[in-house]
Chains A and B, each alone.
Chain A
Amino acid sequence: MSISLPPSTKNNIEKLQPTGWLRYFSFSLDHKVIGIQYLVCGFIFYLIGGLLAGAIRIELTSPISDFMPREVYNQVLTLHGTIMIFLWIVPVVNGAFGNYLIPFYVGARDMAFPRLNAVAFWLIPPAGLLLISSYFINGAAQSGWTAYPPLSITTPAAGQIIWIISVLLLGGSSIFGGINFIATILKLRRPGLKLMQLPMYCWAMLGTSILVVLSTPVLAGTLILLSFDIVAHTGFFNPSLGGNVIVYQHLFWFYSHPAVYIMVLPAFGLVSEILPVHSRKPLFGYTTMVYSIMAIVALGLVVWAHHMFTSGTPPWMRLFFTIATAFIAVPTGIKFFNWVATLWGGRISLNSAILFSCGFIVNFVLGGITGVALAQVPFDVHVHDTYFVVAHFHYIVYGGSVFVIFSSIYHWYPKFTGKMLNEKIGKLHFAITFIGFNLCFAPQHWLGLNGMPRRVAEYDPQFAFVNQLSSIGALLMALSTLPFLWNVLYSIFKGEESGDNPWKALTPEWLTTSPPPVENWIGEAPLVTEPYGYGEKQARKASSKPNSDQ
């Protein structure tokens, strides 16, 4: 598609084209700027969280607690979990790509509420700094990212309260973002664009935002009650004052299980955008994909207690939550087979973007299988709070979401900057990440099955060798960041020009210039009713309507 302009508007738009890096530090209302702000800010927190992960792995290379004191170890693992979840994955898969892509996909010029959007982003850096600063005040929170009472009530209060305030701010940011996405997708669609013609990422974001709006407030309320327990010495969750810790767990997991879907559903959507482009085939089973996203949203809200099988849950509850959790495997499996079928027989160009997407499919199916296993009560009781859970979780959020984030950066970098990333370095990045990741986390399944508890700095010496293997994997993961960073920074200045549509993609964001003009479209937004009309389908359509062009 060629873009031509009447000369008068061209001049005008060129004048308004934002220049300079300063706008990324401003309270910009442009959804593209906000998307990049989310992405870069999230990546900085990823590096910090990664350093903390490195500290954990260094400590665990030897069975004794020698690298840091135990209290510091607890703080480090709490900060690592909180930063990676609330400051890296959630803001990036939702905020960064959502803000950048959704207005393009619905054919709008901005999000529905640009000011709210900017507020939602600008809550994140202060919340993150607050969280990290707590380490220097009186020690950060020590009770893990779950902050289970009574542990969170008995550990030093200052760090825990700062942790709560920070998570409340981030939750607020997440809710504002969710409201914005729902309004944009449902209300701001270009006239003529039907819901079932939207690119899959819109559906993923709609489902995710519904989860955010329904579940995040419950976490906020729970944390407010927890802060009362810490500051005012009420007894909501304090058994010695007649409170009930199980209620906290229920309320916490009512948010935090959907939180896993908040981290991974947008990743599903992004993969569904990337695979068709690079395999030159339509997305397989669009309709089933939409229904399975919505099924995951509905089921995701009623499976939370499978995190609590060892908390004295009654048998009927165990039965219900086991069955409900097993059911989630069905829509997830549908999506998995749809991706494989999309690749099947396609003209795949094996570039970094699709390599990371395929890495995601492999890792995610492994994490998914251990997830189904963990939903079974007898097995869960055996491996609860062991490294098996750590391995499963990281296969979902790193092997799943983070691989997709990298895939998306390779795919949309030309859109963001107008430059290509270096493919050779990209493939090197993929190889080190994939090997490092699997070396780091696959052995942890074995550790967990053999009874190594998580969140403890010391362990039985018989686990030393496998832990060292895992730490070597972590080292590789850390090293893999270097070629990526170099690639991204170098290519901004010296990268090959990409042109407007280097992948010859059909989704709407590529039907404008790269990087896009301030108002997204020059003239009217194009009406894209078949975002995945590649290959055979395109040919068939052309041959079935031979007269339409005349």
Chain B
Amino acid sequence: MTTVSPINKQSNELTAHKEEHADHRLFGLITFLIADGMTFAGFFAAYLTFKAVNPLLPDAVYELELPLPTLNTILLLVSSATFHKAGKALEKSNSKKCQYWLLITASLGIAFLISQMFEYFTLPFGLTDNLYASTFYALTGFHGLHVTLGAIMICIVWWQSRSPGGRVTASNRFPLEAAELYWHFVDGIWVVLFIILYLL
């Protein structure tokens, strides 16, 4: 590594200049989420164009069942609320309560994934059946990947917010805030996806 690490590290961690600079990591994360949102925007645009320009043959059109995805929507929206609760608990240095809410959030996320998987197995079409099927799996799959990553992040934050020895504390809330922001973003994307894919 470099010979300059001691002095460099300080300015990189932004601890040496904390009085001058606020922490910019959240700003960077928001910029990243805008970029990530553009990926989804591209997928949505592709899906809507396919739908408008390349209508399927009548026998290939399949009406999606709504109950399961509606349940999924509720799961994710509730998990956003429980994550918020966890954040509030951490602000008050109540790490027990924080861990409790984080665990619920993670469970809701995993429940979403299981339910999604269940939907995949019960659908009458596969990835390569037709254009609609491919787009359906690409969109929900890419979103599911985001949920998976989010669930892993929540588990890490949960482990790190344990009361003695955890790194996520009331004075170091960034990991939790970042994961929370990401999780809200993934939920928001799901709502758009739900409307476009299932309701339209």
Contact = CB atoms under 8 A, between A and B. Distances in A.
Interface of A: 16, 18-19, 23, 26-30, 33, 109-110, 112-116, 175, 178-180, 182-183, 186-188, 191, 213-218, 220-222, 224-225, 228, 232-236, 241-244, 246-247, 250-251, 254, 518-519
Given A30-B8, A234-B134, A243-B131, A217 B50 contact: no
A225 B12 contact: no
Nearest to B22: A187
A30 B4 contact: yes
B167 to A, nearest CB: 17
Contacts of B43: 221, 225
Contacts of B7: 16, 518-519
Given A116-B28, A214-B34, 12 more contacts: A16-B6, A28-B1, A110-B8, A110-B11, A187-B24, A187-B27, A191-B20, A218-B38, A232-B128, A234-B127, A234-B138, A242-B130
Contacts of B46: 221-222, 225, 236, 247, 251
Interface string B140-154: 001000000000000
19 contacts: A23-B4, A26-B1, A112-B24, A112-B28, A113-B25, A116-B28, A175-B32, A180-B28, A182-B31, A213-B34, A214-B38, A217-B42, A221-B39, A221-B42, A233-B128, A236-B131, A243-B131, A244-B53, A518-B7
Contacts, number: 146
Contacts of A18: 2-4
A218 B46 CA distance: 10
Contacts of A114: 8, 11-12
Interface in B23-45: 24-25, 27-28, 31-32, 34-43, 45
Given A213-B31, A217-B36, A218-B38, A225 B138 contact: yes
A26 B27 CA distance: 28
B131 A242 contact: yes
B68 interface: no
A218 B39 contact: yes
Interface string B50-66: 10011010000000000
B8 A183 contact: no
B35 A214 contact: yes
Contact of A23 (B3, B25, B53): B3
Given A29-B12, A217-B36, A244 B21 contact: no
B15 interface: no
Contacts of A228: 134, 138
B54 A243 contact: yes
Contacts of B2: 18, 23, 26, 28-30, 33
Contacts of A236: 46, 50, 131, 134-135, 138
A123 to B, nearest CB: 15
A80 to B, nearest CB: 27
Nearest to A110: B11
A172 to B, nearest CB: 10
Given A28-B2, A115-B12, A235 B131 contact: yes
B70 interface: no
A247 B49 contact: yes
Contacts of A220: 39
Nearest to B135: A236
Nearest to A186: B27
Nearest to A220: B39
Contacts of A222: 42, 46
Given A216-B35, A242-B130, A247 B50 contact: yes
Is chain B's interface secondary structure helix, strand, loop, or mixed overall?
helix
Contacts of B3: 16, 18-19, 23
B42 A218 contact: yes
The 7 A-B pairs at the shortest CB distance, nearest first, are namely A218-B42, A234-B134, A217-B39, A217-B38, A221-B42, A221-B39, A114-B12
Contacts of B135: 236
A342 B42 CA distance: 41
Nearest to A519: B7
A187 B22 CA distance: 9
A159 to B, nearest CB: 23
A29 B21 contact: no
A116 B31 CA distance: 13
Nearest to B133: A234
Given A225-B138, A519-B11, A234 B24 contact: no
A358 B165 CA distance: 62
A454 B49 CA distance: 30
A18 B3 CA distance: 6
A218 B54 contact: no
A223 to B, nearest CB: 10
Contacts of B37: 217
B172 to A, nearest CB: 17
Nearest to B44: A221
Contacts of B32: 175, 179
Nearest to B8: A29
Contacts of A110: 8, 11-12
A251 B11 contact: no
Nearest to A229: B134
A116 B42 CA distance: 25
Which of the listed residues B4, B49, B56, B128 has the most CB atoms from chain A within 10 Å of its own CB?
B4
A232 B127 CA distance: 8
B4 A16 contact: yes
A30 B31 CA distance: 23
Contacts of B8: 29-30, 110, 114, 518
Nearest to B29: A179
B116 to A, nearest CB: 19
B12 to A, nearest CB: 4
B35 to A, nearest CB: 5
A179 B28 contact: yes
Contacts of B24: 112-113, 183, 187-188
B12 A183 contact: no
Nearest to A243: B131
A376 to B, nearest CB: 26
A188 B46 CA distance: 37
A254 B42 contact: yes
Contacts of B22: 187
Contact of B56 (A28, A225, A242): A242
Contacts of A175: 32, 35
A516 B12 CA distance: 18
Nearest to B9: A29
Contacts of B54: 242-244
A244 B3 CA distance: 54
B128 A234 contact: yes
Nearest to B21: A188
